[in-house]
Structures are given as C-alpha cells and as structure tokens.
C-alpha cells in the first residue's frame, strides 16, 4: 500500500513537473533582442526580431520605431525580406528616404510649413521646398523610442513609446505617443498607434515602409499589381500640396479599383502624374467604420500578396520616384529608382489647412487611435 502510495505521488509530481515545463512552450517565447549600435549622440539602439511559429519574421529598431525587415514566404515557401532599408543604424540616422520609419508628428506635407489652430499660427521647418514634410527636420523616425515587450495571445508584440515635447519641430503640446507592433501566426503585422496631448495639436502618424514583394531590391516594382479601395484622390499642386479637391478616379490613371500593374499607366501624359513624378498621391478610401480594406498588392512572379487594412481615411501610394541609386541598402544593394513602393495609411496631407478634409486636430483629453494591419499571403 505504502509503496503504491509513493509511486502514485511520484507520478503526480512528474505530471505536475511535465505540465510546468510545458508552460513556457505554450506562450510565445520572448522577442530576440540584439544591439543595433550607438547613435551619434551616444544612445544605445536595439533590434527586436519578432518571429511567428511559421518562421516568418519582422525586425524593428527602437531608433525611429523603424521596421527594418519583413521576411515572409513566396508561393514556394521561400522566405525573403520584402522591405527596403539599411544594414546599419548609421543608414537610418543619416538617410533621407524614411525607410520603414514611424512618421510623425505629422506624416506627409503641411503647405507653407505653417498652420493655425485656435487662432494661433504655428511655424514649422521648411524641409521640402516651401513645405514641411514628415514631421520636420527631426521627425519621429529620427529619435530613440523606449521599447517594452508586451504579452499577447496573437503573437510577439513590441510596444514603443516617445514623448514629443511642446514646441518640438514647432508643434504645440507635449504629445505622448505609443505604438504597438504585433506579429501574428497569420503573417499579419498589426500596428496600433495611440497618443494624447496636453494642448491642442495636430497628429498624423504613419509607417513609411518601402515594399518590394519580389524580395529582390534590384528589381523595380512596376510589375506589382495594385488594387486600391478608393473612389477618389486628392490632386496636388507642384509642391505636392493638395488643392483641396476630391477628384473621382474614374477614367484617370489613378483608378486602381480593379488591379493594375504600377507601370501600366505611370508614364501617361497626365498632369497629376507629371506633378507627382509618377504616383505620389493621397487616395481617399471608401468610407466605412473600423478596419477597412485599403490596398491589395500582388507580385505575380513570386505570388506574394500584401493586403492592407486601416482605420485611416486615406493612403499615400508613392512609387519610389525619388530613389536615385545614391543610397546603399542592405547587403550593399543599390536603392535605385522605383525599386520600392510605399502605402502610407494616413489622414490627408495638409489637413490642418483644409477645413473640408477629415480633421487631424487632437485636443487635451482626447485619445488618438489609429490602426493598420499589413497581411502577407501568397497566391
Ligand atoms: C513621401 C512623399 C514623397 C517623398 C517620400 C520620401 O511618400 O509623399 O514625396 O517625399 O515620402 O522620399
């Protein structure tokens, strides 16, 4: 009897131990963290590699809350990195193309680099002709964020926070910003932005990844088939500032309601294409609440598909027209003309100066929330 009892209790203990040792394997393992060097100001930067159970990976650095790499399979299951970027921190610190960066406080342009809010005029740096672009001289993509891993049932999740001081880059109000990146087993990168302010301000946050779904930065992106759920776009002037008009895409090279190759009409003789030097415009997404389909992009040779859903009302589709081969990317690659395209989910450019556009004003006590999901599939 005694022997039986002790065998029984040993078995119980073994079962309990087995259960315990299983536990860590059931929840997502912690995010692989590596050093990403020191900034020129002496701050440590890190690289966080989020991996899902399929082996697909997203690498993010706390420098600029930047997406450095997204490694996803083609239709044969072969993993490749589908975003442009640099090998080292220095590239991100000195680069001028915003590769993978979190853009703020105001993504895209503000005309004349000024806006008025509550009767006061705010002056911003003119870093794009007469206009302000992507947050100014030192936007959110050029500062070091504070990173924390966050437990999530959906997959590995990284939270990054940054406090932009009142007056930073000319914007009013201390703005506390938080972004949560979650990498799921369905190869979805969920990006959730949160912010609050202590003074009325303007906010427009986005991510500036350049995609090349072929996974080969030497190839241009003109063969990618793009579909945009957008009946209108916002035409621009020669400084890429919206005129204020919402124009129907019907009958123009801006109609992507059915899939069209990026290169098909990019050289058409069209005033807006000339002003944009190709596609570099804001599309007005079909209205709807919550996360709605914005873009669906297919790379026919590899079968990789990117589907973007967002809570934002617009998307800037930019065909990499300013890439000129001068910058050196990952593995010594040349970042040549139109080798990456951006899909920046956003409020419309220059909204602070257009009362007819959805408002980008954030008041004290209000919560800024925005969400975009990038889903990678194959067909
Ligand atoms: C945005 C702009 C482009 C260009 C790139 C960065 O997408 O709309 O005009 O400035 O950023 O090079």
Each residue's pLDDT tens digit, 92-132: 999 999 999 999 999 999 999 999 999 999 999 999 999 99
**Cα distance between residue 108 and residue 318, in whole Å:** 11
* Residue 52 and residue 184 in contact, taking contact as beta carbons nearer than 8 Å: yes
- Residue 322 CB–ligand 1 contact under 6 Å: yes
The CA distances from residue 96 to 101, 138, 156, 224, 324, in Å, are 11, 11, 30, 25, 12
Is there a domain that residue 43 lies in?
Answer: yes
Measured in angstroms, how far is the CA atom of residue 315 from the centroid of ligand 1? 12
For the full predicted model, state whether its pTM sits above 0.75: yes
Task: Tell me the three state secondary structure of residue 330.
Answer: helix
Is there a domain that residue 313 lies in?
Answer: yes
Is there a domain that residue 276 lies in?
Answer: yes
Residue 230 sits in a domain of what CATH number? Answer: 2.70.98.10
Is there a domain that residue 152 lies in?
Answer: yes
Is there a domain that residue 362 lies in?
Answer: yes
Domain total for the chain? 1
Nearest to 249 by CA among 293, 283, 276, 278: 283
Is there a domain that residue 165 lies in?
Answer: yes
Q: How many CB atoms lie within 10 A of CB 360?
A: 23
Residue 23 has pLDDT above 80, yes or no: no
Chain-wide mean pLDDT for the chain? 94
Q: In this predicted model, what pLDDT tens digit does every residue of 150-184 receive, in sequence order?
A: 989 999 999 999 999 999 999 999 999 999 999 99
Is there a domain that residue 9 lies in?
Answer: no
Measured in angstroms, how far is the CA atom of residue 24 from the centroid of ligand 1? 44
Half-sphere exposure of residue 32: CA atoms within 13 angstroms, side-chain side: 8
Nearest to 93 by CA among 70, 68, 71, 69: 68
Residue 27 has pLDDT above 70, yes or no: no
| Rg value, the chain, Cα | 23
Nearest to 203 by CA among 297, 126, 108: 108
Domain of 322, in residue numbers: 32-378
CA 280 to ligand 1: nearest atom: 8
Percent of the chain with pLDDT over 70: 93
Is there a domain that residue 106 lies in?
Answer: yes
């Amino acid at each position: 009897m005694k022997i039986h009892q002790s065998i029984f209790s040993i078995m119980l203990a073994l079962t309990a131990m087995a259960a315990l040792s299983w536990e860590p394997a059931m929840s997502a393992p912690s995010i692989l963290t590596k050093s990403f060097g020191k900034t020129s100001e002496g701050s440590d930067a890190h690289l966080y590699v989020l991996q899902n159970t399929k082996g697909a990976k997203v690498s993010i650095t706390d420098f600029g809350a930047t997406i450095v790499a997204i490694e996803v399979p083609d239709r044969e299951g072969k993993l490749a990195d589908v975003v442009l970027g640099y090998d080292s921190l220095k590239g991100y610190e000195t680069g001028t193309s915003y590769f993978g960066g979190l853009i703020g406080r105001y993504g895209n342009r503000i005309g004349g680099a000024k806006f008025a809010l509550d009767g006061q005029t705010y002056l911003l740096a003119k870093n794009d002709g007469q206009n302000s672009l992507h947050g100014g001289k030192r936007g959110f993509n050029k500062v070091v964020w504070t990173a924390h891993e966050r437990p999530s049932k959906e997959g590995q999740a990284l939270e990054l926070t940054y406090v932009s001081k009142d007056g930073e880059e000319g914007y009013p109000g201390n703005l506390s910003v938080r972004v949560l990146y979650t990498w799921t087993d369905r190869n979805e990168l969920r990006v959730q932005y949160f912010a609050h302010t202590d003074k009325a301000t303007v906010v427009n946050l986005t991510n500036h990844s350049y995609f090349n779904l072929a996974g080969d930065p030497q190839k241009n992106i003109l063969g990618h088939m793009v579909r945009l759920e957008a009946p209108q776009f916002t035409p621009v002037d020669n400084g890429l500032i919206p005129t204020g008009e919402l124009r129907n895409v019907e009958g123009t090279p801006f109609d992507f309601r059915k899939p069209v190759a990026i290169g098909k009409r990019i050289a058409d003789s069209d005033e807006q294409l000339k002003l944009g030097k190709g596609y570099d415009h804001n599309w007005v997404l079909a209205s709807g609440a919550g996360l709605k389909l914005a873009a669906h992009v297919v790379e026919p040779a590899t079968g990789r598909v990117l589907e973007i859903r967002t809570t934002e009302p617009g998307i800037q589709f930019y065909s990499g027209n300013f890439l000129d081969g001068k910058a050196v990317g990952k593995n010594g690659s040349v970042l040549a003309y139109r080798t990456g395209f951006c899909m920046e989910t956003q409020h419309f450019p220059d909204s602070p100066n257009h009362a007819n556009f959805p408002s980008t004003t954030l008041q004290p006590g209000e919560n800024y929330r925005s969400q975009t999901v990038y889903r990678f599939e194959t067909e």
